[in-house]
Amino acid sequence: MTLEKCQCGQNYEHHSGPTHAFLGASAGCWKAYGQVLALEYKDPKRWEGHRYTVDAYACQHPGRCEPRTIESINLHLVSLCLVLERGMSTDFATQNAIRIPNELNPRWIEPPTSFGSIGIADLLRVQNSEEHLKLSREYAREVWQSWGRSHALIHKYCDWICDSVASTRPKDLS
């Protein structure tokens, strides 16, 4: 068995299958990600960790500097920040992080040299839904922390989202 190092820093069995169009994932890592997503789609409890999984995976595989990766890394980091630091729901993050590439013209953020010790394959090894949900949250926290030098910029984007949402709420007329 030949192992291949992925951009995330984890080693995966060499696989000649497909990869993502612009994320920096090896074919073996991309295959593991697909397997994790399949488990999440089948199990409502595992599904609760889906937003954490998607955002952490994308942030752990930022790819190269090009328009699609610039949009991707910014919106996934914003989503992690909204959920992990601002206490917003995953639904709120999903609905609002997508606004970043369309309205703020984000820039490339240089990736960290390490994305933490948890990889997507770790989510495949958990035995039950509760463990999956707990580990998906830890995975998201660890990946978010690895991008620490970019937090100030991401906080500005999150402030913009929260301010713009607040300004569109109807005024209390009572």
pLDDT in tens, 107-149: 999 999 999 999 999 999 998 999 999 999 999 999 999 999 9
Any domain includes 128: yes
- Residue 169 is classified by DSSP as S
What is the predicted pLDDT for the residue at 100? 85
Give bridge partners of residue 13 from the DSSP assignment: 3
| Structural domain contains residue 15 | no
Helices (H), the chain: 27-42, 44-47, 50-60, 67-84, 90-97, 99-103, 120-125, 129-146, 151-168
pLDDT attached to residue 102 = 77
User: Stretch 91-110: mean pLDDT, rounded?
Assistant: 89
Task: Answer whether residue 72 is part of any domain.
Answer: yes
Number of domains in the chain: 1
pTM (predicted TM-score):
0.92
In a domain, 133, yes or no: yes
87 pLDDT tier (thresholds 50, 70, 90): very high
Q: In which residue are the tokens 């089948």 written? A: 42
Judge whether 16 lies within some domain: no
**pLDDT 10s digits, 27-82:** 999 999 999 999 999 999 999 999 999 999 999 999 999 999 999 999 999 999 99
Task: Show the domain range for 29.
Answer: 21-167
Residue 6 lies in a domain: no
Cβ atoms of residues 29 and 120 within 8 Å: yes
Are 15 and 28 in contact by the 8 Å Cβ rule? The answer is yes
25 domain residue, yes or no: yes
Using DSSP's 3-state secondary structure scheme, residue 56 falls into helix
Phi/psi for 13 (5° steps) reads -60, 135
Within-domain flag for 8: no
The per-residue pLDDT for 173 is: 46
